[in-house]
Structure 1
Amino acid sequence: MRSYAIGDIHGHIDLLLHAHDLIAADRRATGDHDAPVIHLGDYVDRGPDCRGVVQFLMDGTARGEKWLTLKGNHDRMFTRFLRDPKEPEPGLRADLSWLHPRIGGAETLASYGVKNAMDRPLAPVHAEATEAVPQSHLDFLQDRPAWHRRGEVVFVHAGIRPGIAMEAQQETDLVWIRAGFLDDPRDHGFLVLHGHTALDRATHYGNRVNIDSSAAYGGPLTAVVIEGRDVWHLTDNGRVPLQP
């Protein structure tokens, strides 16, 4: 059972288009045009064209592309801010906000035409944002599932709470978790394919594979192909095995 997956995008439409080109090349090489492409979340924040990324994913979905787009913590923060900018985000440190420079919400709003969001009072920024951001974009991001299982692999943005059935997992864990998951070496009964925690390169840990290769910080965007529990990194020169 073959699947493709793409890591954390963070507003980099150029990297996303290249990732899809790599997948298209692998499809041609294998003759398989039915395997789904699973995007692991974090479509917005920090990067230059968050609006373009969301629109690209929406357009592909509307065309009937075999894509699945999962929810990331940054996607949830974006929609939560538009709903109520003072509503706490359970996974975010209390001393931070979506518009804090470390989080990157201002870059998302700038892509929708709301400029200098960090430097202005919250109320007018929010009012301008509610006018500028299409409701269809918010609906699309809000409606994203938080995880997906296909064959021997669970796809999720951040990870899982070990020892809890997938159907009982809490969304906040699925989009935010690090401690208790990243440091757990046990097999979960399936391979977990995730992003969220930025690394220099995609890394296989045996029980999980992290494909967040720091696109948000100037790194590449990783695309992989999975067959059973075997994983290959897709490159301009073809497949490269990704092994523990």
Structure 2
Amino acid sequence: MIYAIGDIHGQIEMLDHALDLITQDGGPDADIVFLGDYTDRGLNSCAVIDRLIDGKASGKNWRFIKGNHDRMFTNFVTMGKQHDPLIAPGLNYLNPRIGGTNAIASYGVTGEPIFAAHTRGELEILLHFQTDQGALTPDQLQQETAKAVPAAHVDFVNNLPLWIETDDLIFVHAGIRPGVAMADQDPEDLLWIREGFLEDTTDHGKLIVHGHTALDAPTHFGNRIDLDAGAGRGGALIPAVFDGRECHILTDNGRVPLTPA
């Protein structure tokens, strides 16, 4: 059996509850795949990454995939990168909809981003970051954030793979480009894809298990399962267990079968 946890988005209490459910079902040595998006939006990105690093270091059978938010996080920490070209309409990493301000706040860098006036579709540019000690320029903010975020956290994220494959399953953050071999997939698709994947109903050979696109609950679409239940947007974090292609979600009352809608 193999367990999976979808997008966490800084929700440490939800993560701990999901891990407790898995331990109750599969024991302390359960094989768990985490589907990425550990950071942003929620209030405890730092604690989430600490928990994941500590679990792996203690010998847990845990494996991790990189999400698009995780890459945005390290790009901001290391380079001060404010945008990703695949975010429309030009939202800044520190915009509340993206959640970067909460991520860096969990490391002690707190304040309010002040953006230049812009129209929809234009890049949202950070003018300064207002803190209790005064305003930081974008460069100063990046320098403060780089000092606050442990190098181990950056290294953890930067070294994560983009997919994990078993005999029956492919675990990936966003999805795949249908008809393209995994070795030939565009990394941007693995991190960001929606159009061209979500509406596709063809069998991919293996069941695709992903997050990235928030739904009200984990959903089985026949050829794929979306485990993002919106933890980063006020929803839930619901773990799943797989025996081959057969899937159950874990609840406080035990397993519930997850079958094609």
TM-score class, shorter: over 0.9
**CA–CA separation in structure 2 for the residues paired with 1:62 and 1:39:** 15
How far is the alpha carbon of 1:35 from its aligned partner?
Answer: 4.6
Deviation at 1:89, TM superposition (A): 2.5
Deviations 1:191-239 (A, max 9, x none): 0000000011000000000010000111110100001111001001110
The one-letter code of the counterpart of 2:2 is: S
Q: CA RMSD in A?
A: 1.3
Distance (Å, rounded) in 2 between the aligned partners of 1:196 and 1:117: 26
Structure 1 unaligned blocks of 5 or more: none
Worse-superposed segment, 176-185 or 163-172: 163-172
Q: Which residue of 2 aligns with 1:147?
A: 163
Query: What are the superposed Cα offsets for residues 151-174 of structure 1, whole Å, 9 maximum, x if unpaired?
Result: 210001100011110111121110
- Runs of 4+ aligned residues of structure 1 deviating over 6 Å after TM superposition are none
Q: Structure 1: how far apart are the matches of 2:160 and 2:83? A: 20
State the aligned residue count. Answer: 239
Task: State the match for 2:226 in structure 1.
Answer: 210
Q: Aligned residue for 1:64?
A: 59
Aligned to 1:125: 141
Structure holding more helix per residue? 1
Q: Secondary structure at the match of 1:68?
A: strand
Matches of residues 1-244 of structure 1 in structure 2 within 5 Å?
2-28=1-27, 35-86=30-81, 89-93=84-88, 95-119=90-114, 120=129, 121-244=137-260
TM-fit CA distance, 1:34:
5.3
| 2:133 corresponds to | none
Do 2:66 and 2:157's aligned partners in 1 also have CA atoms closer than 8 Å?
A: yes
1:63 Cα offset (Å): 1.1
Equivalent position amino acid for 1:184 in 2: D
**Is the contact made by 1:4 and 1:23 (CA closer than 8 Å) also made in structure 2?**
yes
Matched-pair contact (CA < 8 Å) for 2:78–2:142 = no
Moved more, 187-196 or 87-96: 87-96
8 Å Cα contact 1:157-1:195 kept in structure 2: yes
Deviations 1:108-162 (A, max 9, x none): 0000000115241322211110111111100000101110011210001100011
Give the TM-score normalised by structure 1.
Answer: 0.94
Task: Describe the superposition over 1:72-125 as per-residue Cα deviations: whole angstroms up to 9, x where unpaired.
Answer: 000000011122224753432361121122100000000000011524132221
Percentage of identical aligned residues: 50
Greater radius of gyration (CA): 2
Tell me by how many angstroms 1:186 deviates: 0.4
